[in-house]
Chain A
Amino acid sequence: MTSTDPGAVAAPDVPPADVAAVVASNELVADSFSEYLSAQWKRIRSGESGTLPVVVGLIIIVAIFQAKNSRFDSTGNLTNLIEQSGVFILLGMAEVFVLLLGEIDLSTGFVGAVGAAITAELNAPPHNVNWFLAVLAGLAACAAIGLIQGLLITRLGLPSFVVTLAGLLGWGGFLLYLIQHDKQATGGSIVINSSVLNDIVNGSLSNTAGWIVILIAVAAFAATSLLRHRRRQANGLVTAPLSLLVLKVAGVAAAGIVLVLVCNANRGGALVHLSGVPWVVPLLAVVLVVYSVLLGRMRFGRYVYAIGGNAEAARRAGIRTNRVRLLSFVLCSFTAGLAIILVYFSELGSISSDFDGGNYVLYAVAAAVIGGTSLFGGRGKMSFAVLGGIVIATIYNGMALIAIGAAGQEMVIAIVLLAAVTVDAVAHRGISRR
């Protein structure tokens, strides 16, 4: 294969030791579909398992819950599951920004909740600020908190663990203060006032709109994939086999169709007809695309990975590492704001002093790590957080269905988090031993 592979420089006298080097880039060394599969298999055996364990784990989890309670795969519960995943997915994405650097942010839950309290307060009487401006104010507050914490971490060189642990306590206290001093708060909670905010999770696209949106999304994915493929081919670079591209597009299309079918089924019962894709799904999709482009196709993202891989090398390459790190902490807090202000707040209809920001941070880290983002920095993707968030939500949803109490649920989540971190550590050891 080496001889026909135009990406590798022609190899007349290859010492055997070099050929044995593990091929970790999967698609670009394969000329045909079967070669892709074998390269993928090599990767899995060498410890870089990618998303495979998560997908397999998810299937097993779903099978267990389905066996215990046949309502698990009812369309109503699956839609419910999608809505529940939203918070975990967004919090997981927030965590990815800092985990990639090899840092951590323990404050995301309460930071987002502070933003949500500000939004709720502004949006309710007597202020009656327009919902959009109220959300902007909440998100700006979150970003500002991220800026403060990020400055402490990058300028003073404090460990992110300690700074954000202080944030976990401090912003939790600030949330209580905000709610106690709000005249609208009843019983320790501020209720949602805007129907738009309420509809993010509880409202749905019409059935037709759902189909149109998924059609446009799949078409856009297919077009960009094909354009990239063409451009690489036109420049004589190695391309992944076309069959693989077709298969990927088909997979995305199938997933989209199943999603719309599930959401478009009537989940309201005989009296009230309720169907359609919840607004939170397109919201998540937009955030995923924007963040994936930011991390995968822009300088900022490249530098985040570089700093996570070797901070000294990044510094010597002339990258302003402190600026990149600071922006990552701001983006992390901002995304936490998206999670709590737009999704959690909408799902519960209120933000209350009972909000458990500590638990949510653990779910966030778990979602990111279960998806395959490394705690050691430098490895991970935004899309991984989607998978991880779905796993967390599935376990949560399923355990509630089969009537496991809070005590059992928290212990199970803890074990899942530990298992994911163990897999991460073992894979990391495998890579650095090479």
Chain B
Amino acid sequence: MSTSSAEARSQDRASATPLLRLSKVDKHFGPVQALTGVDLAIYPGEVLALVGDNGAGKSTMIKTISGIWAPDGGQVYWDGKEVHVRNPRDASALGIATMYQDLALCDNLDIVQNMFLGREPRRFGLLDETAMEIAARKTLSDLSVTTVRSIRQPVGSLSGGQRQAVAVARAVLEDVRLVIMDEPTAALGVSQTAMVLNLVKTLSDSGVAVLIISHNLVDVFKVADHIAVLYLGQLVGTYPAGELDTQRAVELITTGALGGSSAAEGRK
């Protein structure tokens, strides 16, 4: 995302209602405090990167949002209304799709079969392969996924980036408004990474909010509009991507604060 459009989006933020807002969210596991009073907002069509060191609470945060476990304190607002996401089904009913690192695809099934797994349309009681194939083809071309040779090839024969694309296509097949991606580029090569980042941009251009967790700051800066930094379970701040560079981001991640007087005050 270019800096100018990121700035344009950050101006939108002031007036619009966030799609998802966390307010003072706490989560602890026994005596271990994993999240402490976290405030976070994601707007429609925005790419928000969540960064932080190992153990900073990134995974806890996305699992809380996607309903794997409920927060112990604080509120979650969806479209400005308070919601209680108790399980993954609640989350997907709201329009939240979470893609974990392992992607959860069946290698022995083809692309179409994977995209429709668990919700296959039927015709006279039999699987409607034609309808599935038409819809799958349309979704993939909407996402500008251009590198698969046949949508009838098994997912096991695809490259890492293509698998990621299939997982995204599977997620957006239903009406989805927030896509959460956990380390989508971690295992990918250069061209595959570029493909996935393009996919993220295509998603946000169509108005879907994307929350992306990544260790790779280069990728983060390529694609994010805003960057939220977690440090030891607390949100240091949410910064427009244009206001940070790699060095300052690393400083925030490792120390939880910016040293010099030029520190940009993060929007809490």
Q: Given contacts A29-B150, A308-B108, list 13 more A-B pairs with CB under 8 A.
A: A7-B137, A7-B151, A8-B149, A23-B150, A25-B150, A29-B149, A235-B130, A298-B125, A306-B113, A309-B108, A317-B104, A318-B119, A379-B108
Say whether B156 contacts A431, CB under 8 Å: yes
Can you spell out 14 A-B residue pairs with CB atoms less than 8 angstroms apart?
Answer: A5-B150, A9-B148, A18-B147, A19-B147, A19-B149, A23-B157, A24-B157, A231-B130, A237-B130, A237-B133, A237-B134, A303-B118, A306-B106, A317-B104
Q: How far is the CA of A69 from the CA of B172 in the complex (A)?
A: 64
Write out, one digit per residue, whether chain A residues 224-242 have a CB within 8 A of any chain B CB (1) or not (0): 0000000110011110000
Would you give the shortest CB distance from A251 to chain B, in whole angstroms?
22
With A298-B127, A317-B118 known as contacts, the answer to whether A21 contacts B157 (CB < 8 A) is: yes
Write out, one digit per residue, whether chain B residues 151-177 have a CB within 8 A of any chain A CB (1) or not (0): 111101111011000000000000000
Query: Does B140 touch A at the CB level, under 8 Å?
Result: yes
Q: How many A-B residue pairs have CB under 8 A?
A: 144
Closest residue on chain A to residue B105 by CB atoms? A313
Say whether B152 contacts A7, CB under 8 Å: yes
Q: Which of B88, B108, B149 contacts A23 (CB 8 A)?
A: B149
Would you give the shortest CB distance from B147 to chain A, in whole angstroms?
4
| Residues on the B chain within 8 Å of A308, using CB | 108
| Residues on the B chain within 8 Å of A309, using CB | 106-109
**Which secondary structure dominates chain A's binding surface?**
loop
Would you give the shortest CB distance from A295 to chain B, in whole angstroms?
11
User: What 7 A-B pairs come out closest when comparing CB atoms?
Assistant: A317-B118, A309-B106, A309-B108, A378-B108, A313-B104, A18-B147, A25-B152
Q: How far is the CA of A278 from the CA of B145 in the complex (A)?
A: 54
The interface of chain A, by Cβ under 8 A from chain B, is 2, 5, 7-15, 17-19, 21-25, 28-29, 231-232, 235-238, 293, 297-299, 302-303, 305-306, 308-310, 312-314, 316-319, 378-379, 431-432, 434
Query: Does B191 touch A at the CB level, under 8 Å?
Result: yes
Query: Does B122 touch A at the CB level, under 8 Å?
Result: yes
Would you give the shortest CB distance from B134 to chain A, in whole angstroms?
6
Q: How far is the CA of A11 from the CA of B140 in the complex (A)?
A: 12
| Residues on the B chain within 8 Å of A293, using CB | 126
Would you give the shortest CB distance from B129 to chain A, in whole angstroms?
8
